[in-house]
Amino acid sequence: MTAAVQTVLGPVAASELGRILPHEHIFILDPDIEQNYVIEWGSEEARVAQAVQRLDDLKALGIDTIVDLTVTGLGRYIPRIEQIARQTSVNIVVATGLYTYDKLPHFFYGRPPGSGTEGRDPLEEMFIHDITVGIARTGVRAGILKCVTDEPGVTPDVERVLRSAARAHLATGVPISTHTHAASRRGLEQQAIFKEEGVDLSRVVIGHSGDTEDFGYLTEMLDAGSYLGMDRFGVEHMLTTERRVAVVAELCKRGYADQLLLSHDASCYIDWLPRKVVEQRIPNNHHHLFISQHVLPLLLQSGVDESQLDTMMRLNPQRMLTGEPSPPWHQVQ
């Protein structure tokens, strides 16, 4: 591959990205809370050092690149990520988009659809700026778009984000990666909206698809052309690791290995729950090293071969990020 992907430190040839974790986070936090109450964040230097060490540990396990899907609504702060990127040899791709399950921030109420330049949505303009010029004043360009549909469904504000992401994709060519609520089959709604906007669904990752064993739902999205993010390995309270592995193995057996992406949706720090609750709900498994240390051997034991693992960990995320064509869909190895 000769196509380049934007990373925090600049463009990198796709062939140099190596093995990729395509749905991860470094820090997720609410800056309003942390800046006003400083409940858990603690030392900035210590948090940065911890993240650098985690990425260096990943590199030692053969992971060369992560995609940090932290966007507005999750506490994205690029100067901190840039500092980390300069201290590790792992490539970091960052995202633009907006994370909400229902309502937009009040900022956008006075900036409705059509109020941007030439009648565009201001959201679309912001996403395009992040991709083509840079995020905030850093010059760091986003290499992927992120949007969300959760259990509340496609609310008017969520639909606005989805359509703005689709239009920003069409204007820039960077892919779209989503958060979904698999139990309510939200990925199909996302695909329908993206298709209405003229998006090639092979440039879309329907995230958190590994949270379900509903093969009818999964194969319907696969047959429409999208990648599926099997991207919550270690989140045991939804499906156990063994059940997640079984879903991936079955899809590989059915010939879909070239549309699957493996990741964790983990972070080095998240403030959504008290640490004690996190440890109780996700006992020691939900971290960036889990796939390399535990899941890949389980997949091999389940009948997935080394070539399919390389496809899911290296080739698919490279193709997803660049738009390079994949082999013909659904060919059984």
Q: Tell me: the pLDDT tens digits for 107-127?
A: 999 999 999 999 999 999 999
Q: Assess whether pLDDT exceeds 90 at residue 35.
A: no
Average pLDDT over residues 150-172: 98
Q: Assess whether pLDDT exceeds 70 at residue 279.
A: no
User: What burial letters (b/e) apply to 10-40, b meaning 16+ CB within 10 Å?
Assistant: eebebeebbbbbbbbbbbbbeeeebeeeeee
- What mean pLDDT value characterizes the chain? 93
Confidence of residue 1 (pLDDT cuts 50, 70, 90): very low
Confidence of residue 8 (pLDDT cuts 50, 70, 90): very high
Of 172, 166, 121, nearest to 146 by C-alpha is 166
Half-sphere CA count of 124, side-chain side, radius 13 A: 23
CA 270 – CA 115 distance, rounded (Å): 35
Lowest-pLDDT choice from 65-69, 228-232, 251-255, 325-329? 325-329
In a domain, 331, yes or no: no
| Confidence at residue 41, expressed as pLDDT on a 0 to 100 scale | 83
Q: Assess whether pLDDT exceeds 80 at residue 283.
A: no
Q: How many domains are there within the chain? A: 1
**CATH classification of the domain holding 214:** 3.20.20.140
Neighbours of 332 (CB within 10 A): 9
Confidence of residue 297 (pLDDT cuts 50, 70, 90): very high
| Confidence at residue 332, expressed as pLDDT on a 0 to 100 scale | 37
| Confidence at residue 277, expressed as pLDDT on a 0 to 100 scale | 63
| Confidence at residue 42, expressed as pLDDT on a 0 to 100 scale | 82
Average pLDDT over residues 266-295: 81
* CA 297 to centroid of chain Cα atoms: 23
Q: Assess whether pLDDT exceeds 50 at residue 167.
A: yes
In a domain, 327, yes or no: no
In a domain, 84, yes or no: yes
Q: Measured between alpha carbons, how far is residue 10 from residues 131, 133, 149, 164, 278 in Å?
A: 12, 12, 30, 25, 34
Are 208 and 186 within 8 A, CB to CB?
no
Domain of 144, in residue numbers: 4-322
CA 102 – CA 321 distance, rounded (Å): 27
Average pLDDT over residues 268-276: 81
| Confidence at residue 96, expressed as pLDDT on a 0 to 100 scale | 98
Q: Assess whether pLDDT exceeds 90 at residue 285.
A: no
Collect contacts of 108-114 with beta carbons under 8 A, ≥24 apart.
Answer: 108/157, 113/160
Average pLDDT over residues 159-183: 98
| Confidence at residue 333, expressed as pLDDT on a 0 to 100 scale | 35
In a domain, 330, yes or no: no
Average pLDDT over residues 271-277: 74
CA 58 – CA 272 distance, rounded (Å): 24
Lowest-pLDDT choice from 27-41, 59-73, 147-161, 250-264? 27-41
The three-point CA angle 315-319-323 to 5° equals 170
CA 70 – CA 159 distance, rounded (Å): 19
In a domain, 333, yes or no: no
Q: Assess whether pLDDT exceeds 90 at residue 79.
A: yes
* CA 48 to centroid of chain Cα atoms: 21
| Confidence at residue 274, expressed as pLDDT on a 0 to 100 scale | 74
Residue 72: phi, psi to the nearest 5? -55, 130
In a domain, 329, yes or no: no
Q: Based on C-alpha coordinates, what's the Rg of the chain?
A: 19
Q: What three-state secondary structure class fits 66?
A: strand
CA 94 – CA 255 distance, rounded (Å): 30
In a domain, 83, yes or no: yes
Lowest-pLDDT choice from 108-112, 180-184, 275-279, 307-311? 275-279
CA 200 – CA 332 distance, rounded (Å): 23
Average pLDDT over residues 69-87: 97
DSSP state of 290: H
Q: Assess whether pLDDT exceeds 60 at residue 328.
A: no
Q: Assess whether pLDDT exceeds 50 at residue 330.
A: no
Confidence of residue 325 (pLDDT cuts 50, 70, 90): confident
In a domain, 94, yes or no: yes
Are 29 and 41 within 8 A, CB to CB?
yes
| Confidence at residue 180, expressed as pLDDT on a 0 to 100 scale | 98
